[in-house]
Amino acid sequence: MDFHYTAEEEAFREEVRAFIAEHNIPEDEHEDPDALEGWHQALIAKKWIGFSWPKEAGGGGGSLIEQFILKEEMSEARAPALGSDFMGLTWVGPALINHGTEEQKQRWLPDLLNCRSIWCTGYSEPDSGSDLASLKTRAVREGDEYIVTGQKIWTTLAHKAQWIFMLVRTESADRYGGITCVLIDMKSPGIEVNPIPNLVGDHSFNQVFFNEVRVPVANRLGDEGQGWRVVMGALANERTGISESTTMVQQLDRLKDLARRATRGGRPALEDPEVRRQIARFDCRISAMRLNGMRHLTHQLKGELPGTETSVNKWLRGPLEIEMHDLALGLLGPEAVEPGDWQRTSLVFHGTVIGGGSPNIQRNIIGERILGLPKD
């Protein structure tokens, strides 16, 4: 057990801080394309996008510990994201590195690393949500191509993405072994993207129709029938990405700021012991998430790939979001009925909590795959 950082790691932390001092952009410019372009170019020059990816894949070859330091420092400085494509960098790239051919890596990784592509992910279908393996979108082999027909839904960023990382059915009789992973050009003839406004009216996700879309067999990731295996790894990375404690640490700081300003019956809210205890409980749980994440990282340092343990932090995040927003809106009092930041995030956090598998699915995974209870 050793939570000390080495001299090299401490030096790296200083390097990150110096980088942030030079290149960071204010939070209100995080959506400004020109400001972001400068930020991305500086990151690319450092090879800090795909920081821990192997050098031969074009990544930075950095250690997982240094990556942890990089993310913590960036989060603390409220810096923009490490790259422009969360989905591409969090799970498409790692899936390409683990399962792709040399040719496929050459084809897609450079654009990912240079912020020149955006990926979306095609898992859910209208009748296949939590029961993902029941998916029906068909891919029929015809020479060097698959003909893909079906429908995906809740597809975040499909309206902006150049590529979709998706699951199709190549064999109807075999529930898991009939699933294959393909990478499809979103400009292919036969694809239609329709927006689905979310509950605050934003356009973030879509339904996507595939009508006899021709996909080269060269775009298949892994062998035919190996899609479920590819996606289990991708989902573990997605759950890790969603449950990074850095986001929750920031949210806790915001909640403390709110509590310092809030009053109840003319008295400071922080004089209420139950308010203090509630915030302290969140602090303990977020600290547990951070340390759980570090413990999982230790397993990865020994060469294990992320797996079912990622459901632990994914589960912790759900109730935390719900309860932290409940307290925040309570502290706001009557102001909670007006539009505002907490009011907005109290509605949109549901997307993060359901995405990557709902809390009930996480508890099924833990119950069945970790505790060995019988399948539902």
Partner 1 sequence: MNFGLTEEQELLHSEARKFLEEQSPLDEVRRTTSNPEGYCPKQWKTIAELGWTGLVIGEKYGGAGLGWIDLIVVLEETGRALFPSPLISTLIAGSTIADFASDAQKERWLPGLASGDEIGALALLDDASAPALGAAKPRATRDGDAFRVSGTRLHVIDAPNATSILIAFTDDTDALHLAYVPAATAGITVEPRETVDRTRRIGHVTLANLRVAPEDVLASGDDAQRVLESTLDRGAVATTAEILGAGTAIHAMTVQYAKDRVQFGSAIGRYQGVKHPLAEMYVDLESIRSLLYYAAWAIEEKPEDAPLAASRAKAFATEAFTDIGVGAIQLHGAVGYTEEYDVQLYLKRSKWARPAFGDEIHHLERVARLGGL
CB atoms under 10 Å from CB of 148, counted, come to 24
Whose Cβ is closer to partner 1: residue 347's or residue 370's? 370
Shortest Cβ distance from residue 367 to partner 1 (Å)?
4
Closest C-alpha to 27, from 349, 254, 343: 254
Task: Report d(CA 79, CA 71) in Å as an integer.
Answer: 10
Whose Cβ is closer to partner 1: residue 141's or residue 256's? 256
Whose Cβ is closer to partner 1: residue 85's or residue 309's? 309
Shortest Cβ distance from residue 13 to partner 1 (Å)?
12
**Per-residue contact flags (x/-) with partner 1 for residues 298 to 317, judged by CB under 8 A:** x--xx---------x--xx-
Shortest Cβ distance from residue 40 to partner 1 (Å)?
29
Q: For residue 147, what are the β-bridge partners?
A: 140, 214
Under the binding rule (CB under 8 A), the answer on residue 196 touching partner 1 is no
Shortest Cβ distance from residue 68 to partner 1 (Å)?
8
Whose Cβ is closer to partner 1: residue 57's or residue 242's? 242
Under the binding rule (CB under 8 A), the answer on residue 11 touching partner 1 is no
Question: What does the block give as tokens for 338?
Answer: 């007006």
Task: Report d(CA 24, CA 80) in Å as an integer.
Answer: 8
- Residues in 31-70 that interact with partner 1 by CB under 8 A: 65, 68
Residue 151 φ/ψ, nearest 5 degrees: -140, 135
Beta strand pairing call for 119-122 and 163-169 = parallel
User: Which helix or strand (DSSP H or E) is residue 213 part of?
Assistant: strand 203-216
Task: Report d(CA 51, CA 61) in Å as an integer.
Answer: 6
Task: Report d(CA 342, CA 349) in Å as an integer.
Answer: 10
Which residue from 256, 341, 347, 348 is in contact with partner 1, where contact means CB under 8 A?
256
Given a contact cutoff of 8 angstroms between Cβ atoms, the answer to whether 169 and 127 are in contact is no
Question: What is the DSSP annotation of 71-122?
Answer: HHHHHHTTPPPSSS-HHIIIIIHHHHHHH--HHHHHHHHHHHHTT---EEEE
Which residue from 95, 231, 259, 320 is in contact with partner 1, where contact means CB under 8 A?
259
Task: Report d(CA 269, CA 274) in Å as an integer.
Answer: 10
Under the binding rule (CB under 8 A), the answer on residue 338 touching partner 1 is no
Q: Kindly name the residue from 238, 244, 309, 321 that is annotated as catalytic.
A: 238
Shortest Cβ distance from residue 53 to partner 1 (Å)?
20
Under the binding rule (CB under 8 A), the answer on residue 4 touching partner 1 is yes
Whose Cβ is closer to partner 1: residue 70's or residue 191's? 70
State the number of binding residues for partner 1 (CB under 8 A): 49
Closest C-alpha to 46, from 70, 26, 25: 70
Given a contact cutoff of 8 angstroms between Cβ atoms, the answer to whether 292 and 312 are in contact is yes
Shortest Cβ distance from residue 59 to partner 1 (Å)?
21
**Per-residue contact flags (x/-) with partner 1 for residues 266 to 295, judged by CB under 8 A:** ----x--x--xx-xxx-xxx-xxx-xx-xx
Shortest Cβ distance from residue 111 to partner 1 (Å)?
33
Whose Cβ is closer to partner 1: residue 295's or residue 344's? 295
Whose Cβ is closer to partner 1: residue 273's or residue 334's? 273
Is 171 a catalytic site residue? no
Task: Report d(CA 26, CA 253) in Å as an integer.
Answer: 18
Under the binding rule (CB under 8 A), the answer on residue 370 touching partner 1 is yes
At a CB cut-off of 8 Å and minimum separation 6, what does 36 contact? 25, 29, 30, 80, 84
Contact residues toward partner 1 (CB under 8 A) are 1-5, 9, 65, 68, 256, 259-260, 270, 273, 276-277, 279-281, 283-285, 287-289, 291-292, 294-295, 297-298, 301-302, 312, 315-316, 360, 362-364, 366-368, 370-376
Give me the active site residues, please. 238
